Amino acid sequence: MKLFFKTKSLLHSIKVSLVFIAITLLIPVDSFGRIDGGKVYLFAYATQKKDNKNGLHFAWSTDKLNWHAIGPEYSFLKSDYGNWGNQKRMLAPILLRDKNGLFHCLWSLNEEDGVFAHAASTDLFNWKRQSYIPVMQAKNSGNVMFVEASSSANENYTISWISGDKKGDNGTVYTTTTTDFKNYTETKAGNKTDRKDARESIIISGVTVQGTINEVEWSLVENLIKNMQSAKFEAEKNNTSAKGDSELFAGLRDITVKIKVDASKSKKISNMLTGIFFEDINYAADGGLYAELIQNRGFEYDLSDKVGSDKNWTHRTAWIGTFSIDSLNGIHPNNPHYAIIKNNFISNDGFDGIPVVAGEKYDFSIFTKGAESVAKLIAPNGIVLAQTTIKASPSWKKYSAVLKPNATVATAHLEISTKGETALDMVSLFPEKTFKGRKNGLRADLAQTIADIHPKFVRFPGGCLAHGDGLDNIYRWKNTVGPLESRKPMRNIWNYHQTMGIGYFEYFQFCEDIGAAPVPVLAAGVPCQNSKVGGAGQQRGIPMKDMDEYVQDVLDLIEYANGNATSKWGKIRAEAGHPAPFNLKYIGIGNEDLITDVFEERYKMIIKAVREKYPNITIIGTVGPFYQGTDYVEGWDLADKLQLPIVDEHYYNSPGWFINNQDFYDKYDRSKSKVYLGEYASWGNTVYNALAEGLYLTAVERNGDVVSMASYAPLLAREGHTQWNPDMIYFNGTEVKPTPNYYVQKMYGQNPGDNYLYSQVKISEDNPEAAKRIGISTTTNNATGDVIIKLVNMLPVALNPSIELQNIVPKDQDKYKDKVTYTILSGKPDSKSIQQTSSTTFTTQEALSKPIPAYSFVVIRIPTQKELKK
Ligand code: AHR
């Protein structure tokens, strides 16, 4: 069997080597006639595939006759302009090289916007930040097509383009000039004769493409080929699966793992490693964690919430009946719309029905004006479950009552009827049993499921939601505090509506209720780079004239959280019921932003102001949406320059990436910023995904001296209203459905360490692929004195551990006869459910050698003498 396994693994290695050799053979080394000085021609182009979203491609030639595509559809540079879905396009790029050898790529972004893009690179593989130059802004119209550039002797570049015609045939020529591709002169009308028609047509793989030709060194092309190959090789390597594993490890027998843990070799790690990322995505807030049972309670849903894409999404959404909507003399300017019923009724069915439990109390409230009305909770079969009468009132008046349904129903509705004319607004129904019994509180079952992770921090309110879809959609914390009817609802970047019922007060309160540090994330003065509103994404940063006010908002938030109850903003917190400060220590500035000049200017301004006024607040910076690439590199450069204490990294990837990159943080420079891994997840909710995350987290713990915090994302998703998958916890109106990924988070959250103990691991198989799928992390917890061993087995065979603890004194002093807590998560790798069992029946001795089944994650907690033997 063993031999068979080895043969398999050998075959695999041969296969990988053959692929390498085959790829290498495609590169002619020096057997062709290069042009002068060892140079070749490089053709830069884009195709129309995927609606022009495949980015910049290259092909090379020695004679301009035979062209060799590098890739062929490999994207060496992708446009990051505009929203996901229909933007991020690159049209008709041109490539030129300046006298310093720096390449400049210019391209059109779409057929509408008066903007062109620029990015520069020395090696054509690593690109510096992109900029989008709004050259037609002053003209107030006109697109920018077929950009080209010509230079005079002094490197003054004239950029020209054709505007007004999508094909570029009949448009008007405009020009601008630049010497540095940062500053551009005012746009002028030009002339067709100004254009030298830089593009040429060549045939690649039988297809004609247009692009620009540069003479470049062969070594540069060779590097492009190698980089492209290694990126493709990486992608292939990371394409693992449970099915693939059973092939890869066919014949593999149970593995013996000898582990020596030595407490004399340890390092201090962060005790805040597991936290949660909360974003109102997938109905996580309204219709989710926020316990409000009425949907569209303020009649403020609007066509614009979904950018007009759903004609049924209006002020009337979730309501039926005969009623009109008005906005004259509403209850508050921030909440202008209300409904009017005349001798009729109006009914709301909440979020997929209103779930109520017999005998429980529900707080009903409403603002009405006009005739007396009656509110009834009604079951689907028409039976009235509870009711109350709302007195007539000549002006807006808030009425409250407690409703106690006489039956349990999952999909009730709330009906309000009148025999005269009644205006109504802010119709609300809350279970009294919210999390910790808070008014305007959180759904108890969901909040408890989150609390059970024992998160050390909560990041909120996003994600992309924090910086929003366009300038007007940036999340403004001041709009989310105060009486509910005065909060300013807003469309949600995920294309629905946020009532702001959960606002900054509720976030801080939740953190306090679960003993987690609040980590608010605020926009860095720019909206989301994926904005669809406002054209140029975040390039329309908050105008500089308004930035002082924005910076003040950021400072005011810190006062709101920490100021004493007599300070301007501390008073507002105190009036909301929390005179004591919330003890805010962290603040995130920016969320995976595109690092541009517009961003940098505003980011620095905010950071400077916070540092000056609140030097004790730890600022968390941003380094883009991936673990590599331009924003990651530029974000880290900025963090170095600004000496930021922590930066926020994000990556969503295949489980194979997590398996193959366990050394990601071992490579990090310990003298630089610490890392908050603010968003991560492997693509899926199977046991295989969860274990890949668990495995990776053993490496994160090992690097807990550089990684300070980590949070899986996204957290919540309401079934049927999900914009993003996978998520950690799914739910509907009555059920909470934690995923295997959740249980892994809970295992880490409930078993945090403060010190990492080094261990020596020897396995009985000489197989690096198998070794990678075994994870171990041993820590000690200062508060309890426990030694915590985490073991992940991502293999289709069992592990037989033999764990030796050195320099650790067991609590009983009696050779590990004490009972330990032994928790195991296990499941079929393709399954979406996982079993968790916890037992305290084993002694330390038994636990240290207990076989670990295939595809499982074990945590052993060993009580020890607090003082470890030196
Ligand atoms: O977690 C979902 C989204 O992923 C977040 O809003 C954003 O920051 C990231 O792109």
Atom of ligand 1 nearest to the CA of 713: 1
| 728 Cα to the center of ligand 1, angstroms | 14
Q: Is-contact 460 714, C-beta < 8 A? A: no
The pLDDT tens digits of the residues spanning 499-510 come to 999 999 999 999
CA atoms within 13 A on the CB side of 629: 21
What mean pLDDT comes out for the span 724-742? 98
Residue 4 has pLDDT above 70, yes or no: no
The pLDDT tens digits of the residues spanning 379-388 come to 999 999 999 9
Atom of ligand 1 nearest to the CA of 530: 10
Q: What are phi and psi of 433, to 5 degrees?
A: -85, 75
| 84 Cα to the center of ligand 1, angstroms | 12
Nearest-CA residue for atom 8 of ligand 1: 463
Phi-psi label, residue 242: left if phi above 0, alpha if psi -120 to 50, beta otherwise = alpha
463 lines ligand 1 (CB under 6 A): yes
Nearest-CA residue for atom 1 of ligand 1: 714
679 lines ligand 1 (CB under 6 A): yes
**Highest-scoring range by mean pLDDT, 152-166, 235-249, 475-489, 852-866:** 475-489
| 741 Cα to the center of ligand 1, angstroms | 17
Rounded to whole angstroms, how far apart are CA atoms 390 and 384?
16
∠ at Cα 56 (52, 61), nearest 5°?
125
For residue 536, what pLDDT band results from cuts at 50, 70 and 90? Answer: low
606 lines ligand 1 (CB under 6 A): no
pLDDT the model gives residue 525: 97
Rounded to whole angstroms, how far apart are CA atoms 622 and 647?
5
Rounded to whole angstroms, how far apart are CA atoms 377 and 375?
7
Burial 656-692 (b: 16+ CB within 10 A, else e): bbbbbbbebbeeeeeeebbbbbbbbbbebbbbbbbbb
Q: Is-contact 573 561, C-beta < 8 A? A: yes
What mean pLDDT comes out for the span 109-136? 95
Burial 442-481 (b: 16+ CB within 10 A, else e): bbbebbebbbebbbbbbbbbbbbbbbbbbbebbbbbbbbb
**DSSP β-ladder status, 707-712 and 674-682:** parallel
∠ at Cα 709 (707, 714), nearest 5°?
125
Atom of ligand 1 nearest to the CA of 464: 6
Mutate to test the pocket of ligand 1, among 83, 281, 521 (most ligand atoms within 8 A of CB): 281
Q: Is 592 annotated as catalytic? A: yes
Atom of ligand 1 nearest to the CA of 493: 6
State yes or no: cis peptide before 625, omega within 30 of 0.
no
Rounded to whole angstroms, how far apart are CA atoms 788 and 810?
13
Rounded to whole angstroms, how far apart are CA atoms 494 and 504?
19
How far is residue 97 from each of residues 60, 178, 184, 214, measured CA to CA in Å? Answer: 16, 14, 18, 8
**DSSP β-ladder status, 517-522 and 457-460:** parallel
How far is residue 436 from each of residues 284, 325, 736, 798, measured CA to CA in Å? Answer: 19, 36, 18, 43
Atom of ligand 1 nearest to the CA of 466: 6
How far is residue 475 from each of residues 380, 402, 442, 571, measured CA to CA in Å? Answer: 38, 33, 21, 22
713 lines ligand 1 (CB under 6 A): yes
Atom of ligand 1 nearest to the CA of 724: 2
Nearest-CA residue for atom 5 of ligand 1: 463
213 lines ligand 1 (CB under 6 A): no
% of residues, the chain, pLDDT over 70: 94
Task: Enumerate residues 6+ apart whose C-beta is below 8 A from 443.
Answer: 288, 289, 290, 291, 431, 434, 435
Nearest-CA residue for atom 2 of ligand 1: 714
∠ at Cα 688 (684, 694), nearest 5°?
95
For residue 19, what pLDDT band results from cuts at 50, 70 and 90? Answer: very low
Mutate to test the pocket of ligand 1, among 464, 498, 526, 627 (most ligand atoms within 8 A of CB): 464
Rounded to whole angstroms, how far apart are CA atoms 708 and 618?
12
| 537 Cα to the center of ligand 1, angstroms | 16
| 687 Cα to the center of ligand 1, angstroms | 23
Task: Enumerate residues 6+ apart whose C-beta is below 8 A from 748.
Answer: 273, 274, 694, 697, 701, 790
pLDDT the model gives residue 35: 64
- Torsion from C-alpha of 20, 25, 27, 28, nearest 10 degrees: 160
SS3 annotation, 394-433: EEEEEEEEEECCCCCEEEEEEEEEECCEEEEEEEEEEECC
Task: Enumerate residues 6+ apart whose C-beta is below 8 A from 364.
Answer: 375, 388, 400, 401, 402, 403, 414, 428, 429
> Can you give the C-alpha Rg of the chain in angstroms?
30
Helix axes 544-562, 504-514, angle to 10 degrees: 40
Residue 20 has pLDDT above 90, yes or no: no
Tokens of 339: 């409904």
Say how many Å lie between the first and final Cα of the chain, rounded.
44
Mutate to test the pocket of ligand 1, among 522, 530, 676, 679 (most ligand atoms within 8 A of CB): 679
Residue 3 has pLDDT above 50, yes or no: no
Cα 208 to the center of its chain, rounded Å: 39
Rounded to whole angstroms, how far apart are CA atoms 273 and 433?
31
Residue 49 has pLDDT above 60, yes or no: yes
Residue 687 has pLDDT above 80, yes or no: yes
| Mean of the per-residue pLDDT values of the chain | 93
What mean pLDDT comes out for the span 705-710? 98
Helix axes 630-642, 597-613, angle to 10 degrees: 30
263 lines ligand 1 (CB under 6 A): no
Tokens of 209: 């493409």
Mutate to test the pocket of ligand 1, among 459, 724, 729 (most ligand atoms within 8 A of CB): 724
Q: At which residue do the structure tokens 């039976």 appear?
A: 383
DSSP conformational letter for 480: G
Cα 855 to the center of its chain, rounded Å: 27
**DSSP β-ladder status, 409-418 and 91-97:** unpaired
How far is residue 554 from each of residues 280, 523, 590, 605, 805, measured CA to CA in Å? Answer: 20, 9, 12, 11, 49
**DSSP β-ladder status, 618-622 and 646-653:** parallel
| 492 Cα to the center of ligand 1, angstroms | 13
| 753 Cα to the center of ligand 1, angstroms | 28
pLDDT the model gives residue 38: 84
pLDDT the model gives residue 814: 61
**DSSP β-ladder status, 586-589 and 618-622:** parallel
724 lines ligand 1 (CB under 6 A): yes
Q: Is 333 helix (H, G, I), strand (E, B) or coil?
A: coil
Query: Which residue type, as a one-letter code, is found at position 104?
Result: H
765 lines ligand 1 (CB under 6 A): no
CA atoms within 13 A on the CB side of 490: 25
464 lines ligand 1 (CB under 6 A): yes
What mean pLDDT comes out for the span 299-311? 93
Q: At which residue do the structure tokens 């802010």 appear?
A: 426
Alpha helices in 643-794 (DSSP H): 655-660, 687-702, 740-750, 768-772
Rounded to whole angstroms, how far apart are CA atoms 128 and 813?
60
668 lines ligand 1 (CB under 6 A): no
Nearest of 522, 520, 526, 521 to residue 602 by alpha carbon: 526
Rounded to whole angstroms, how far apart are CA atoms 424 and 292?
17
Helix axes 568-575, 544-562, angle to 10 degrees: 50
Query: Which residue type, as a one-letter code, is found at position 462?
Result: G
275 lines ligand 1 (CB under 6 A): no
| 461 Cα to the center of ligand 1, angstroms | 11
Catalytic residue among 506, 592, 679, 701: 592
% of residues, the chain, pLDDT over 90: 86
The pLDDT tens digits of the residues spanning 547-569 come to 999 999 999 999 999 999 999 99
631 lines ligand 1 (CB under 6 A): no
| 516 Cα to the center of ligand 1, angstroms | 21
pLDDT the model gives residue 140: 60
**Highest-scoring range by mean pLDDT, 143-157, 167-181, 394-408:** 394-408
pLDDT the model gives residue 630: 96
The pLDDT tens digits of the residues spanning 185-214 come to 999 999 888 788 889 999 998 899 999 999
| 723 Cα to the center of ligand 1, angstroms | 11
Tokens of 257: 């793992």
Residue 843 has pLDDT above 50, yes or no: yes
Rounded to whole angstroms, how far apart are CA atoms 376 and 415?
5
Alpha helices in 26-109 (DSSP H): 49-52
How far is residue 128 from each of residues 77, 83, 95, 118, 539, measured CA to CA in Å? Answer: 10, 20, 14, 10, 16
| 760 Cα to the center of ligand 1, angstroms | 38
281 lines ligand 1 (CB under 6 A): yes
